[in-house]
Amino acid sequence: MQIFLCSSKMEGKGSEIREMIEELLLADHLDILRSVDSLSQKLQKPWEIKPIVIILVYKKDELLDLISIREQLHQMRLILVLPDAEKETISLAHRLRPNYLTYFYSDPQELRIVLQRMLRT
61 exposure class (CB count in 10 Å sphere: 0-12, 13-18, 19+): exposed
- For residue range 80-102, list pLDDT tens digits in order: 999 999 999 999 999 999 999 99
What pLDDT score was predicted for residue 39? 95
**Residue-range domain boundaries for the chain:** 3-120
Report how far residue 36's alpha carbon sits from residue 71's, in angstroms, rounded to the nearest whole number.
13
* 3-state secondary structure labels for all residues of 41-106: HHHCCCCCCCCEEEEECCCHHHHHHHHCCHHHHHCCEEEEEECCCCHHHHHHHHCCCCCEEEECCC
Provide mean pLDDT across the span 3-31: 83
Residue 8 burial (C-beta neighbours within 10 Å; 0-12, 13-18, 19+): middle
- Mean pLDDT, residues 50-60: 93
Instruction: Tell me what pLDDT residue 27 has.
Output: 61
CATH architecture for residues 3-120: 3-Layer(aba) Sandwich (3.40)
Strand partners, 31: 4
d(CA 90, CA 54) in angstroms, rounded, equals: 16
